[in-house]
Amino acid sequence: MTAGPAFLLRPALRLLLPVLLALLAVTLPARAEYWTIASEDHFPPYNYSFNGTRTGIDTEIVVALLKELTITPVHRPLSWTEVVRSMDENTADVGFQFIASPARFAQYNMIGPFRTGTTVFMVRKDSPIAFERLEDLTPYRIGVVDGFAYAPDFDAATYLEKVPSSSNVVNFRRLILGRVDVIVGDLHVLNHMAKQDGRLKDVRVLPKPLGLIPRYIAMPKARKEKAERLQAAFVKLRDNGTITRILDSWLAE
């Protein structure tokens, strides 16, 4: 019996099959990858919602990093204590923006610093309060946000009267109403709130800052492989100037 044409084609098909499969893999769309992004619900100008969309300086930086990795962000606006808990309990991929400390480097994968914030004290316009050293603030009630870290020496100063609140918004309104004497926070955040409330003329920032504080993106320790990818994207966008351009576009006078 003579072999037919189909039999003769079988070896060629066996050789072509891997090539065809490889071409098919290239032409098929890659499976989308989604990461959950935890950030404080209302922390303008760094992260907040506008017309149903998450925006802000830090949000834009994180989204740019994920875009570099072709990852789609799924935003989860939370209270700050919930952001921290999502890192502790490994229920989100990314959380921002964290202040560095030995404890946090031990707890999380820390990416950055991606920017440096100026932490300041704000008082009412007619306040006589001056700040050169922390002991100068001993007589006063200082508004803080529960769960926030500000600067190591301030955080450790148990001799100061710190009045906790749930948010910077509550802190600012307490200051205006005279329920606290001074509040502490990021320079741009406090000024943003004062402008939004139309109260910029009623407050002033003390000239000496509490500190220049580097800010980091955190990821749970269990997500080491993802953290390594995000760190590589951060280094690339830092070195090519993308992160600086984002900062300048928001903060330029």
Distance CA 182, CA 90 (A): 35
Peptide bond into 128 cis (omega under 30): no
Residues 209-248 have pLDDT tens digits of 999 999 999 999 999 999 999 999 999 999 999 999 999 9
For residue 251, the cross-strand partners are none
Is there a contact between 173 and 194 (Cβ–Cβ < 8 Å)? no
Domains assigned to the chain: 33-116+214-252 (3.40.190.10), 117-211 (3.40.190.10)
25 has a pLDDT exceeding 80? no
* pLDDT reported for residue 31: 76
* pLDDT reported for residue 178: 96
> Can you give 193-215 as a three-state secondary structure string?
HHHHCCCHHHEEECCCCCEEEEE
Average pLDDT over residues 162-171: 94
* pLDDT reported for residue 252: 80
Question: DSSP for 208-242?
Answer: S-SEEEEEEEEEEGGGHHHHHHHHHHHHHHHHTTH
Number of helices followed by number of strands (H, E) in the chain: 9, 11
Distance CA 193, CA 154 (A): 23
pLDDT confidence bin for 251, thresholds 50/70/90 = confident
